[in-house]
Amino acid sequence: MTRLFGTDGVRGEANAGLKPELAYRLGRAATIYFGKESEEQPLIIIGRDTRISGEMFEAALTAGICSAGGRVMLAGVIPTPAIAYLARRHHAKAGIVISASHNPFPDNGIKFFGGDGYKLPDSVEDELEAIVHRLEANDDYKRPTGARIGRTEIRTDLQNQYMEFVRSTCKERFDGMKIVLDCANGAAYDVMPKVLRELGAKVKVIHALPNGTNINDGCGSTHLESLQKAVLENGADFGIAHDGDADRCLCVDEKAQLIDGDHILVMCAMDMIKAGTLPYNTVVTTVMANIGFHKAIEKMGGRAEITKVGDRYVLENMLKNGYKIGGEQSGHIIFTDYSTTGDGLITALQVLSSIKRHGGKASELTNIMKTYPQILINVRVASKEGWEENETIKNAIAKGEEELGGEGRILVRPSGTEPLIRVMAEGPEEEQLGRICKAIADVVRKEQG
């Protein structure tokens, strides 16, 4: 049986792969699980992004929670990291976010945070899944009646509470800075413009008119072209792009050059090293970080811890070793001094603060890291098993590594969700990378079917 929870909650096409009936059962399951150790009605906070299906899933989850005797606090449209913060602030048993992040609008998802603000571990997700399957087969759980039925509270003040928290993480003001902000027609469309303006910035906002179907549509952190154009046309100092649920951000400097997650980590790490606030001078990243990132970190006297792809692995390493900053090339950055998860709004403010303290233009910090070309080929295979021991594949990889020498690298890894093996080559010459990558991909395709 396929696992219900993926790498970031339960996702699918709304009303097709992901149905409100499942959302109802997830709400019931969460209340049963989080309420099992207390007679008190468990409090669960729900937030959503701007997708047309969000209200449907909100209603289904609420019905499920109330049917099991839980209390619901509805935050409405709000960034994902806000729910992590609000769950802690209000001593909730859990937080639920209805979002499919950077996916197109027909998709949606349901992801959980614990009352501590952290994403649920696999073991808890497995227990929730077991309850869901029992509800599907035979819903024999006790149902409260009378005054024990759950209640719903619609809160219009939660957005302001989150905004106050985000502002509190920033020590700088941005008076005189001209910023273009792309909200992806998503969850940050109302919050982030207010935060930036209250910190003194002059803000030109684009893609902040959500209609339920335009989230991530040619905009946001997955489509930076309109942000880059707007920065140049408006003579802006900086550009910020969030994804649909605003747990990540990418940026561009005044020349419209990309500032991805690797650059963000370099900028902020350098600022922290100068201030003496980066423990062990260490940044946590994944195997997908650009080789230019590693060279830049090493040059400034820092070091990198490397994890598997996925923010949960980055955070796990940070908490285990006491590191303060980590993230992914995609712009999912975690500052453990401020948050329990990636927060695109906090990330943007930390990058702006680094630029402010630097005292120069954003491009001066962008150019600290040289981005090496990366070529990625996804090879569809019959089986992902056994490729690591295949001598023909190992020889093809070794041949490519020998040709690249110390100026590049090759990474071959299976997809965690699809029947794919990903072949990535990185180095100074794009034509050479393409040839090497294709040669390895052809061998993988032949050997794995």
Which residues does 322 contact at the CB level (< 8 Å), separation at least 6? Answer: 279, 280
The single residue of 53, 67, 99, 101 carrying the catalytic annotation is 101
CA-to-CA distance for 93 and 33, rounded, in angstroms? Answer: 10
Best CA proximity match to 174, nearest among 236, 224, 225: 236
Best CA proximity match to 31, nearest among 56, 64, 4, 75: 64
Write out the two tokens for 346. Answer: 């906090």
- Is the CB of residue 388 less than 8 Å from the CB of residue 382? no
Q: State which amino acid sits at residue 398.
A: A
How long, in residues, is the chain?
A: 449
CA 43 to chain centre: 25
- Is the CB of residue 261 less than 8 Å from the CB of residue 330? yes
Provide the CB-side half-sphere exposure for 75 (13 A, CA).
Answer: 33
Write out the two tokens for 412. Answer: 């071959």
- State how far the alpha carbon of 393 is from the alpha carbons of 11, 169, 389, 441, 447, in Å: 33, 48, 8, 9, 8
Q: Is 330 a catalytic residue?
A: no
Residues labelled catalytic: 101
